Amino acid sequence: MIKILFVCHGNICRSTMAEFIMKDIVRKQHLEDYFHIESSATHTDEIWNGQGSPVYPPARAKLREYGIGTPDNELGVSAKRARLTSRADYDKFDFIIGMDSANIRDLKRLFSGDPENKVYKMLEFTDRSGDVADPWYTGNFDDTWRDCSDGCHGLFREILMTPEYAKILGDSAYADDSEGSTYDEERDLGLIHDDFPRG
């Protein structure tokens, strides 16, 4: 199981968009059973009396625009509530992806550093540097979609290129039969060719 946590300030816009974009990517590759994907906040701004806020409506609308959070591809969008990142998350997840430099500072403070090199900034997985655009301030959900989509697809490529994870995913292309494991062409997951669907 490959475990990914996306993190932003409030967990209602950027990190939730990244969570569901990534879930959509792995669903399209029929790899849901091999991934556990969540998102969380570095601050409690959107958590009241222990209850987190739902996905911010414009973020949810942008996801729906790309077929995510719809009745036939709901992926848990309607049930998602903001939650606070905990120290225990460091041991639970393989990748902890902050959306901007402030998130990274908060995460490393919470985790007392990053001894196992699990903490990354989202755009590290793209061909550009910087922070994921924060639509809470800009109102521009198109830029946030682009940053999150590019980052998630880049992360997925990184996972495919990492031998320990590629082996986990590659094994899923084999089907058990009465004579043992045989390769199933119908389940060829494209681990050699970088042709997975883009958001």
The confidence score (pLDDT) of residue 103 equals 97
Q: Record the tokens describing residue 60, joined without a space.
A: 């949810």
The answer to whether 16 and 10 are in contact (CB under 8 A) is no
The confidence score (pLDDT) of residue 96 equals 98
The confidence score (pLDDT) of residue 167 equals 82
31-84: per-residue pLDDT in tens? Answer: 999 999 999 999 999 999 989 999 999 999 999 999 999 999 999 999 999 999
Residue 138 resides in a domain: yes
Strand stretches in 9-86, DSSP E = 35-41, 47-48, 51-52
Residue 197 resides in a domain: no
Residue 174 resides in a domain: yes
Q: Which of 14, 89, 106, 147 is catalytic?
A: 14
The answer to whether 184 and 56 are in contact (CB under 8 A) is no
Give the residue-averaged pLDDT of 132-154.
Answer: 93
The confidence score (pLDDT) of residue 165 equals 87
The confidence score (pLDDT) of residue 142 equals 95
Q: Is the pLDDT of residue 136 over 90?
A: no
The confidence score (pLDDT) of residue 164 equals 87
Find the CATH number of the domain harbouring 32. 3.40.50.2300
Tell me if residue 14 is catalytic: yes
Alpha helical stretches, state H, 38-140: 57-65, 89-92, 101-110, 135-138
The confidence score (pLDDT) of residue 171 equals 61
Q: Is the pLDDT of residue 189 over 80?
A: no
Q: What are phi and psi of 178, to 5 degrees?
A: -65, -20
Give the residue-averaged pLDDT of 144-162.
Answer: 94
Structural domains counted in the chain: 1
Residue 194 resides in a domain: no
Q: Which of 89, 100, 106, 134 is catalytic?
A: 134
Residue 196 resides in a domain: no
Residue type, 32: E
Residue 36 resides in a domain: yes
Residue 199 resides in a domain: no
Return d(Cα 95, Cα 181) in angstroms, integer.
30
Q: Record the tokens describing residue 80, joined without a space.
A: 């998602």
Q: Record the tokens describing residue 93, joined without a space.
A: 């997840």
The confidence score (pLDDT) of residue 50 equals 87
Tell me if residue 8 is catalytic: yes
Residue 198 resides in a domain: no
Q: What residues make up the domain containing 136?
A: 2-187
The confidence score (pLDDT) of residue 175 equals 39
Look at residue 194 and give its three-state secondary structure. coil
